[in-house]
């Protein structure tokens, strides 16, 4: 009993003591260390670690160092609730900066609102998520889909498309936008099929695809296993149509070997971006992590830039007060590996998009770049 | 139409290959081995290691079988042996074991999706239809598994004693059959078959710590409706696998994923012995 009393009074004393200048600013990173996102999550954590180390080496933010709190959200809603609860209410983080599945993000948003914690979401997603606490520095369908469809329309003379996806928010959201965009640009969608996220046998869908006579395929599966099984089975069935994959990243493409050759991807980051900022970033990453380095990608680089965006916002706001930081986030712009990023379009960011094609050696060759693609009206003010 | 038939037959072949290991264990021991999915995964990783070492496929497959069989034998001797009188506890124990094996694989190989290059790629022309060559090979593999299996059961001493144990274990023991050895060998063969099937599906799927799980429910349902007979298993794979392909093609693949479980439940409701003759 006495020891519990002692603990309670200690905790009280700790809570009452004023924040000293050296108190770290805590950044919460809820991320899918297990589950569907576990393939990409380590690279996201590495990005955050590099950003924090660089900032701390230069004296931190307003004299305070940054500290990371990484929590596993299990890539899903249930895990995300626990992770957000722990980070916001127990660790009392000042900000959340992370890449997550849409299910995890949606589960976390009410908790973020209750805790009044700014949340910088660094994953591309299906768009139109409009919490006042949420900022997004990655792409939405309006930015990613047009490069692929425009290219197929013009260069491949594609008129009819077949869409294949995993049955979840991102898969369906991406493809419904893709379908609307194809129809707007004069094409036709001759088939649209989904498999549950844990499904691994795409045979009937592939047979339908072959029977449909489509000129091109666009897929949006869950990352990792479904993407791999679909690509392998498409190749095994001899499908060699122009193939746009909305969910594959450079690293996965590389490890898939020959099966990935020829796939078209559209991304805001590829390792081959020819800029000084990107080269410095890649050199610092490989210096810090050496052989353990996970290839930086379109999901991990925004995390790095997200930490810098938060730094800039805190400096502009003169402190970590959530409301001031949220206002400042829309105004600051930062120079990152992807170029200048400024989340000033209804809490989303215009981005330079790259259309790439996977080469036989697994590298991604940039075919065309599209500077400053606007995210469109993601969160129009209510009239 | 021909594509539809090929889809149905190759799907049935895959289902048969994956369920046969579960069937042999259920047939002899009357327990359901829920670690089956984990042994399928073990086989996938054995194929991964084998192909990384540069072994030809003719050696990768036996490697997967042996790895699975050794895991199975250890499992039988340490866990399953004590649970024959408690089939419900056996389900719990093997399910738990499946989780443990999955975590051990994660610790060794990491969570990420890995890849095994297919030994056979591309398509073959069949009566005017280009069809995935590897899936056609799966039909042959399924037939091979069935033939070897039947030969083992009806043509060898081991098969004879196994059948004796299946029919009447007390009587077999009275005649001097070492039934615990029969159980050990059967469980090892069942697990080995699971691992072999895991290795066989790697060219069509990814290798990850949960790769076996999506197959478990279908395999379980198929074994339930076939009641321990290999012939009935083949029949139920063709019927239910066919229905699955038809539903996936003409309705939608999401519903298709549920077809086997739903049809199996209906079959068992109407005819409790399922596809088995007995």
Question: What is the fold of A141-267+355-373?
Answer: Rossmann fold (3.40.50)
Q: Domains along chain B?
A: 2-270 (1.10.3470)
pLDDT at B198: 92
CA distances from B226 to A366, B27, B110, B200, B274 (A): 54, 10, 37, 23, 6
Do β-strands A216-220 and A339-342 pair in parallel, antiparallel, or remain unpaired? unpaired
pLDDT tens per residue across all 278 residues of chain B: 788 888 889 999 999 999 999 988 888 788 888 899 999 999 999 999 998 888 888 888 999 999 999 999 999 989 888 888 888 888 899 999 999 998 899 888 877 777 777 777 777 777 777 888 888 889 999 999 999 988 888 888 888 888 888 788 888 888 888 888 888 998 999 999 999 999 998 888 888 888 888 888 888 888 888 877 888 889 889 988 999 889 888 888 888 888 888 888 888 888 887 777 65
Position A1 pLDDT exceeds 50: no
The length of chain A, given as a count of residues: 383
SS3 A163: strand
- The pair phi, psi for residue A105, each rounded to 5°, is -65, -45
What count of other Cβ atoms lies within 10 Å of the Cβ of residue A343? Answer: 23
Domain regions of chain A by residue span = 23-139+274-349, 141-267+355-373
SS3 B90: helix
Q: What is the mean pLDDT of residues A60-71?
A: 93
Cross-chain CB nearest to A238 (options B7, B122, B245): B122
SS3 B83: helix
pLDDT at A21: 55
Chain A residues with beta carbon closer than 8 angstroms to that of B5: none
Chain A residues with beta carbon closer than 8 angstroms to that of B256: 204
- The pair phi, psi for residue A264, each rounded to 5°, is -95, 135
CA distances from B90 to A320, B77, B121, B220 (A): 55, 13, 40, 15
What count of other Cβ atoms lies within 10 Å of the Cβ of residue A174? Answer: 26
Owner of token pair 């809490």: A347
Cα-Cα-Cα-Cα dihedral sign, residues B246, B250, B256, B262? negative
Contact A198 B213 (CB under 8 A): yes
How many Å from the N-terminal Cα to the C-terminal Cα in chain A?
A: 58
Q: What is the mean pLDDT of residues A203-208?
A: 89
Q: What is the DSSP string of A76-127?
A: SHHHHHHHHHIIIIIS--SEEEE---HHHHHHHHHHHHHHT--EEE-S--SS
Closest-CA residue of B relative to A232 is: B204
Closest-CA residue of A relative to B244 is: A204
Structure tokens at A35: 């589950």
10 Å CB burial of residue B157 (0-12, 13-18, 19+) is: exposed
Position A301 pLDDT exceeds 90: yes
Position A19 pLDDT exceeds 60: no
pLDDT at A336: 92
Residues 6+ apart with CB under 8 A from B173: B179
B131/A contact by beta carbon, under 8 A: yes
Q: Are B8 and B133 in contact (CB under 8 A)?
A: no
Closest chain A C-alpha to B108 CA, distance in angstroms: 15
Closest chain B C-alpha to A60 CA, distance in angstroms: 34
Q: Which helix (H) or strand (E) holds A265?
A: strand A264-267
Q: Are A349 and A137 in contact (CB under 8 A)?
A: yes
Least-confidence region, from A26-35, A292-301, A326-335, B247-256: B247-256
Closest CA to A356 of A241, A268, A265, A262: A265
| pLDDT tens, position by position, A234-265 | 988 888 899 999 888 777 777 777 788 899 99
pLDDT at A361: 82
Cα-Cα-Cα-Cα dihedral sign, residues B261, B234, B194, B49? negative
> Measured between alpha carbons, how far is A153 from B127 in angstroms, rounded to an integer?
34
Counting Cα atoms < 13 Å in the Cβ hemisphere of A122 gives 34
pLDDT at B196: 93
Interface subset of B 193-232, CB within 8 angstroms of A: 203-206, 208, 210-211, 213-215
> Measured between alpha carbons, how far is B197 from B174 in angstroms, rounded to an integer?
36
Q: Are A153 and A196 in contact (CB under 8 A)?
A: no
- In this chain, the answer to whether the domains covering A23-139+274-349 and A141-267+355-373 adopt an identical fold is yes
Strand ranges across the sheet with A351-358: A188-195, A160-166, A216-220, A243-245, A264-267, A351-358, A364-373
> Measured between alpha carbons, how far is B179 from A11 in angstroms, rounded to an integer?
64
Contact A255 B114 (CB under 8 A): yes
Q: What is the mean pLDDT of residues A193-210?
A: 86
Closest chain B C-alpha to A34 CA, distance in angstroms: 8
10 Å CB burial of residue A257 (0-12, 13-18, 19+) is: middle
* Mean residue pLDDT across chain A: 88
Q: What CATH number was assigned to the domain covering residues A23-139+274-349?
A: 3.40.50.2300
Predicted confidence band at A18 (pLDDT cuts at 50, 70, 90)? very low
Alpha helices in chain B (DSSP H): 2-29, 36-52, 57-78, 87-109, 133-155, 157-167, 169-174, 179-201, 213-226, 230-250, 253-270
pTM above threshold 0.90: no
Interface subset of A 197-256, CB within 8 angstroms of B: 198-205, 207-208, 210-211, 224-225, 228-229, 232-233, 235-238, 252, 255-256
> Measured between alpha carbons, how far is B187 from A14 in angstroms, rounded to an integer?
59
pLDDT at A7: 55
Cross-chain CB nearest to A203 (options B7, B111, B252): B7
pLDDT at A4: 59
> Measured between alpha carbons, how far is A200 from A134 in angstroms, rounded to an integer?
34
> Measured between alpha carbons, how far is A189 from A176 in angstroms, rounded to an integer?
11
Structure tokens at B185: 């060998």
Widest Cα–Cα separation across chain A: 79
Closest CA to B66 of B89, B90, B49: B49
Buried b (16+ CB within 10 A) or exposed e, A60-94: bbeebebbbbbbbbbbbbebbbbbbbbbbeeeebb
Q: What is the mean pLDDT of residues A74-94?
A: 92
Q: What is the mean pLDDT of residues A164-168?
A: 89
| pLDDT tens, position by position, A27-47 | 999 999 887 787 788 999 999
Closest CA to B71 of B113, B112, B41, B30: B41
Torsion of CA B17, B21, B24, B30, to 10 degrees: -130
Chain B residues with beta carbon closer than 8 angstroms to that of A39: 111-113
10 Å CB burial of residue A19 (0-12, 13-18, 19+) is: exposed
Q: Are A195 and B257 in contact (CB under 8 A)?
A: yes
Do β-strands A364-373 and A351-358 pair in parallel, antiparallel, or remain unpaired? antiparallel
Predicted confidence band at A82 (pLDDT cuts at 50, 70, 90)? very high
Q: Is B54 left (phi over 0), alpha (psi -120 to 50) or beta?
A: left
């Amino acid at each position: 009993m006495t020891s519990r009393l002692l603990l309670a009074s200690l905790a009280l004393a700790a809570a009452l003591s004023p924040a000293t200048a050296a108190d770290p600013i805590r950044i919460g990173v809820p991320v899918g260390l297990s589950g569907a996102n576990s393939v990409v999550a380590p690279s996201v954590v590495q990005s955050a670690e590099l950003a924090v180390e660089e900032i701390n080496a230069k004296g931190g933010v307003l004299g305070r160092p940054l500290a990371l709190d990484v929590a596993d959200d299990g890539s899903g809603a249930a895990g995300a609730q626990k992770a957000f609860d722990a980070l916001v209410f127990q660790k009392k983080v000042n900000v959340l900066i992370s890449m997550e599945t849409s299910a995890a993000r949606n589960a976390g948003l009410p908790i973020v609102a209750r805790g009044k914690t700014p949340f910088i979401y660094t994953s591309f997603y299906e768009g139109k998520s409009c919490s006042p606490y949420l900022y997004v520095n990655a792409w939405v369908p309006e930015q990613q889909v047009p490069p692929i469809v425009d290219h197929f329309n013009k260069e491949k003379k594609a008129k009819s498309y077949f869409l294949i996806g995993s049955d979840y928010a991102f898969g369906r959201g991406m493809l419904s936008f893709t379908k609307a965009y194809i129809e707007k640009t004069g094409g036709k969608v001759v088939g649209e099929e989904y498999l549950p996220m844990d499904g691994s046998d795409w045979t009937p869908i592939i047979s339908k695809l072959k029977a449909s006579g489509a000129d091109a395929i666009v897929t949006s599966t869950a990352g990792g296993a479904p993407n791999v099984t679909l690509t392998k089975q498409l190749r095994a069935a001899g499908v060699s149509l122009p193939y746009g994959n909305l969910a594959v990243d450079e690293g996965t493409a590389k490890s898939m070997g020959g099966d990935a050759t020829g796939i078209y991807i559209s991304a805001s980051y590829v390792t081959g971006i020819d800029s000084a900022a990107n080269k410095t970033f890649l050199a610092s990453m490989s210096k810090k992590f050496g052989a353990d380095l996970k290839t930086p990608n379109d999901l991990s680089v925004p995390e790095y830039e997200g930490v810098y965006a938060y730094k800039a916002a805190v400096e502009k706001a003169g402190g970590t007060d959530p409301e001031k930081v949220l206002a400042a986030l829309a105004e600051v712009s930062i120079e990152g590996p992807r170029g200048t990023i400024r989340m000033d379009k209804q809490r989303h960011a215009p981005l330079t998009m790259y259309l790439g094609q996977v080469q036989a050696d697994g590298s991604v060759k940039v075919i065309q770049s599209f500077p400053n693609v606007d995210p469109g009206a993601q969160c129009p003010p209510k009239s | 139409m021909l594509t539809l038939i090929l889809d149905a037959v190759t799907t049935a072949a895959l289902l048969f290959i994956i369920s046969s290991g579960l069937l042999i264990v259920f047939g002899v021991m009357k327990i359901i081995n829920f670690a089956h999915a984990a042994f399928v995964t073990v086989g996938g990783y054995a194929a991964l290691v084998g192909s990384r070492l540069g072994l030809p496929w003719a050696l990768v497959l036996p490697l997967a079988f042996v790895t699975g069989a050794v895991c199975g034998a250890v499992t039988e001797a340490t866990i399953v042996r004590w649970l024959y009188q408690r089939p419900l506890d056996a389900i719990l124990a093997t399910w738990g074991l499946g989780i443990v094996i999955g975590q051990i694989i994660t610790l060794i190989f990491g969570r990420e999706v890995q890849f095994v290059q297919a030994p056979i790629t591309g398509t073959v022309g069949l009566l005017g239809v280009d069809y995935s060559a590897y899936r056609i090979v799966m039909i042959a593999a399924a037939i091979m598994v069935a033939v070897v299996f039947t030969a083992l059961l009806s043509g060898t001493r081991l098969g004879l004693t196994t059948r004796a144990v299946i029919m009447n274990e007390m009587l077999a023991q009275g005649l001097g059959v070492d039934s615990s050895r029969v159980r050990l060998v059967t469980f090892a063969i069942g697990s080995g078959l699971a691992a072999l099937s895991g290795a066989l599906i790697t060219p069509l799927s990814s290798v990850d710590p949960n790769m076996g799980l999506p197959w478990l429910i279908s395999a379980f349902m198929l074994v339930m409706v076939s009641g321990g007979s290999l012939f009935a298993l083949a029949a139920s794979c063709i019927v239910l696998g066919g229905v699955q392909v038809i539903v996936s093609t003409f309705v939608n693949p999401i519903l298709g994923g549920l077809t086997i479980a739903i049809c199996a439940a209906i079959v068992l409701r109407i005819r409790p012995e399922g596809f088995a003759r007995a």
